Amino acid sequence: MKTKISIKYLLVAITIGMVFTACRKKEDGRIGLDSDTSGAADNALAQGTFNDVSNISDQGAAGGLISYSSTNNGSDIRGILSQCATITPTTNGSSHTVKIDFGTTNCLCSDGRTRRGSIIIDFSGQGTLLQAYNDSSSANKHIITFYQYYVNDNHVEGTHVITNNGHNSNGHLNYTIEVAGGKITKPNGGGVVNWQSFRTREWIEGEGTSAFDDDVYLINGNASGTQANGTSFTETATNLKIAIGCPYIKSGVLQFTPSGKPVRSIDFGNGTCDANATVTISGHAFNIVL
């Protein structure tokens, strides 16, 4: 069994956003064909930003719960945080907080993005900080908030809540992930993207090993919001198969619907780790490379 099972579940970073900038197509001769994917970049920005928050929070918690240094048992536990973040864990009885502070000026992190401000993780539980963090009781929620937090000068706000639901009937750990009041203010008057989501994440492979790159998850759930131009959208994820060892979504379907337009259905394939996907709009299919 892995020693960092409950910390690891946030490491998955969904790469859904890549598809949207790839699937803009021209009329290609078919009169009236709807191939408009305008605003999808805003959806990608929101998805990527809040999935990134899950990554960072997990790594920050690992840094706070384990002796935080550049390496831990030969593995880099700073990950994308690099030397930018200061991790401060605090315990007051059964209440716990982990603060990840990037400072007041932009810091270039290991993933090539600049960050400043803070991410704060609050949770509760009995025992040590690690035991409380790993608690799968329904009362234990990881509530993630922000203080003057910016990524590439995009101001990020909202509340990100993760609940460890324990093992389901299939024997898999599963989690509920909710984003409420998500808001990304773009720099230089670029507008505001609003985002909210409710999803589940089921850990279907790799829980019982010590390696990270054999972990596989299934993602299901819904999201909605408004683009920077004010247009609303909805989204549904069905059985998105995410493998830590693969940079692409391996299978599953994502449906993205801008207000007043037909649904854009993105099929990621049959489980092969590749960059191929199919986008279908009003019965017309487009093969794309992510």
For the stretch 30-70, pLDDT in tens is 435 565 545 566 777 887 788 778 767 767 776 665 433 33
Domain boundaries, the chain: 5-20+37-247
- Concatenated DSSP letters for 99-151? EEE--SS-EE-TTS-EEEEEEEEEEE-SSSHHHHHH--STT-EEEEEEEEEEE
3-state DSSP call for residue 191? Answer: coil
CA distance 266 to 279: 4
Cβ proximity of 208 and 192 under 8 Å: no
Structure confidence at residue 156 (pLDDT): 97
Question: 160-199 pLDDT, tens per residue?
Answer: 998 888 888 999 988 898 999 999 999 999 999 999 999 9
Angle at 233 between CA 154 and CA 14, to 5 degrees: 60
What is the pLDDT, as a whole number, of residue 137?
67
pLDDT (tens digit, 9 = 90+) per residue, 108-139?
887 778 999 999 999 887 777 667 766 776 56
Burial 178-187 (b: 16+ CB within 10 A, else e): bbeebbbbbe
194: which strand partners?
183, 226
How far is residue 57's CA from residue 81's CA, in Å, rounded to a whole number?
10
d(CA 110, CA 79): 7
Confidence of residue 236 (pLDDT cuts 50, 70, 90): very high
Task: Decide: 92 and 98 in contact? Cβ < 8 Å.
Answer: no
> Any idea what DSSP says for residue 61?
H
- Residue 15 is encoded by which pair of tokens? 């790469």
